[in-house]
Amino acid sequence: MDILLRLGAVSGVLCGVLTGVPGGIEAVTGETAPTSFLIGLAPAFGLPLLVALYAGLGRPTGRFGPVAYTVNLIGLGLFGAAAFTKDEALYFLPPSAVSALLSGPTRVALLLTALVFVVGSALLGSLLIRSRRYPRIPAWGYATVLPLFALLGPLPQSPFKAVLHVLVGIVLVWLSAALSRPVTPIAPARQPAVPSTSGRSA
């Protein structure tokens, strides 16, 4: 379990850095080929982080936990694939080709991908908040900033989107650092003492 959390933490830091640093640069330079290339790689490192965050809860979470984790895992996989395609391929195509591609069912698929990621991030963020295993600020950030980041993904590049990249990077690095905190095990509930029925007869 320790190696899983450590690998997840390292991957999470890489995901946060690859998201936040190029995003901060784009706030000044606008979208560029090098920054798009780096941002497109970031979601791949988010998958080990997500696994580690859930494993790091270290206690049962009822039915809500597995559902939230599964939806977020599927959403991140879909959203990561969409981001990779956008930043590593569509960015280098002529605008006319991109417009023609997005005029078909591809646009619907991308919107549904973002929707699954939004729902999954909100659910898992809620789980992180309720668990109190992770700091509240990045836990709330996971539940709010990541869904907003996905919703604004299809919009043109803007300084606000660049700031969102930085905020997402901070949230992910913060949560990754929190994985090194020891998990406090829950003590088993004490069973009430049963009075002894044996005794000396008078």
DSSP assignment of 62-112:
TTHHHHHHHHHHHHHHHHHHHHHHHHHTGGGS-HHHHHHHHTTHHHHHHHH
Q: Which domain holds residue 157?
A: 2-178
> Minimum mean pLDDT among 11-15, 82-86, 196-200: which range?
196-200
Please give the tally of structural domains in the chain. Answer: 1
CA distance 168 to 146: 6
Contact 128, 53 (CB under 8 A): yes
Domain presence at residue 184: no
Mean pLDDT within 68-91: 90
Domain presence at residue 117: yes
Contact 38, 58 (CB under 8 A): no
Q: Is the pLDDT of residue 154 over 90?
A: no
Domain presence at residue 193: no
> Minimum mean pLDDT among 78-87, 121-130, 185-194: which range?
185-194
- Amino acid identity of residue 78, one-letter, is L
* C-alpha pair distances (Å), 171 with each of 40, 85, 144: 18, 24, 11
Domain presence at residue 188: no
Q: Is the pLDDT of residue 101 over 90?
A: no
Structure tokens at 201: 């007869």
Q: Is the pLDDT of residue 13 over 50?
A: yes
Domain presence at residue 150: yes
Number of Cβ within a 10 Å radius of residue 25: 18
Confidence of residue 136 (pLDDT cuts 50, 70, 90): very high
What's the predicted TM-score (pTM) here?
0.81
- Look at residues 57, 78, 61 and name the one whose alpha carbon lies nearest to residue 121: 78
Domain presence at residue 200: no
Q: Is the pLDDT of residue 202 over 80?
A: no
Q: What's the pLDDT at 186? A: 40
Q: What's the pLDDT at 183? A: 55
The residue that leads in pLDDT, 87 or 120, is 120
Q: What percent of the chain is predicted at pLDDT more than 70?
A: 87
Domain presence at residue 127: yes
